[in-house]
Amino acid sequence: MEQTLNIIDWGFKAYSEAVDDQIALLVAKKCDPSSPDLLIFTEHNPVFTIGSRTGAASNLLWNEQTLKDKGIQIHKTNRGGDITYHGPGQLVVYPIIQLNNRDLLAYLRKLETVIIRVLKTFDIEASTREGKTGIWIDDRKICAIGIAVKSWITYHGLALNINPDLDHFQGIIPCGITDGSVTSMQKEISPLPEKKLIKERFVVEFESIFYELSQ
């Protein structure tokens, strides 16, 4: 049976609530495998999320008072990876899809390809870096990826920097990587495309890569 994809836009949602809602949707899909895959767009208020990698919490640089002054929360999460930042100006994407081939690495590679193609549409040449997570422009990271899977259904996902406050990344060693910096679409191109256009392109590329639909 051909799998369908539903698009959901949560707008702004608290990170903890977004995690709970993803789990609920994942459980529903497990109960009904024939239900549509989901592609969720959202945005979070400032939060540092700490993944399951050993030592991830040690890459938090700011103390509790500084975090309070800057209005940034901390949330430990069950996705893979290290510590990263979510905040206004990012496009956060959570795919909840059934991995029929049970190949998590292939899923990750497809997700990377989607992001690279989306950025290329807006004249940004990006790529992966050997041994590093995420999507990069030379040594500047523009998109963080942290995925998880349960019963071979994906959740968590990615955060593409459109125009976030990059100063907030000073509070962490992003993803534990010391030999690179963080960038955004706003820093790389002008004029900055509307977020609506970026979302629309993401859907096109996601469907093309994951469902082999013609563009």
| Angle at CA of residue 151, ends 147 and 153, nearest 5° | 45
What letter would DSSP give residue 109?
H
Measured from the Cβ of residue 132, the count of other Cβ atoms closer than 10 Å reads 14
Of the residues 83, 143, 175, 198, only one is catalytic, namely: 175
Nearest residue to 195 via CA among 48, 49, 92? 92
Cβ neighbours for 116, distance < 8 A, ≥ 6 positions apart: 126, 127, 128, 135
**37-67: b or e for each residue (b if 16 or more CB lie within 10 Å)?**
bbbbbbbbebbbbbbebeebeebbebeeeeb
Beta bridge partners of 201: none
* Catalytic residue status for 175: yes
> What residues act catalytically?
175
